[in-house]
Homo-oligomer: A and B are copies of this chain.
Amino acid sequence: MLSKTCEYALRAMIYVAQHSKSRNMINIKEISENIGSPELFIGKILQGLSRQGFLQSSKGRYGGFFIDEKNAKRSLADIVIAIDGDKVFKGCGVGLNYCSEKNPCPIHDQYKKARTAIYGIYRSATLEQFQTWEESSPLLLKRE
């Protein structure tokens, strides 16, 4: 489905959003411990997203990552597309490049409908939403 990198990214972004409300920068050690990822790897991933404007970062003592109110309005779909591209939301069910309305594969119509539903779920899930959601279920994002 999503790449591992993308799953890490989603969980990290949710974690950072959840903790950007009242506090200062969140560092990669804390993030990686809470989402169950390699520390330096999630650093790399967030650096990339930061370059693309998905979150703030600052170096030095008490540095780390932060998501402001504006960025918290972004959806999970934006993050998925930034990392994995839109193939997961647009691709064909049997992997055909040319598959389209004009030239549909055998499961095109049904598949497109389901795929669009998936896209809708990620599009309507904003980081903001998770900020309130967190209050009832802390420590959710660790993988196991």
Contacts and interface: CB of A to CB of B under 8 A. Distances in A.
Interface residues of A, number: 39
A60 interface: no
Contact of A111 (B110, B115, B121): B121
Contacts of A76: 94, 107
A129 B117 contact: no
A95 B129 contact: no
A4 interface: yes
Contacts of A111: 118, 121
Interface in A95-118: 95-98, 105-107, 110-111, 113-115, 117-118
A81 interface: no
14 contacts: A1-B88, A7-B94, A14-B106, A76-B94, A96-B141, A96-B143, A97-B144, A106-B129, A106-B133, A110-B121, A111-B121, A113-B117, A114-B118, A115-B118
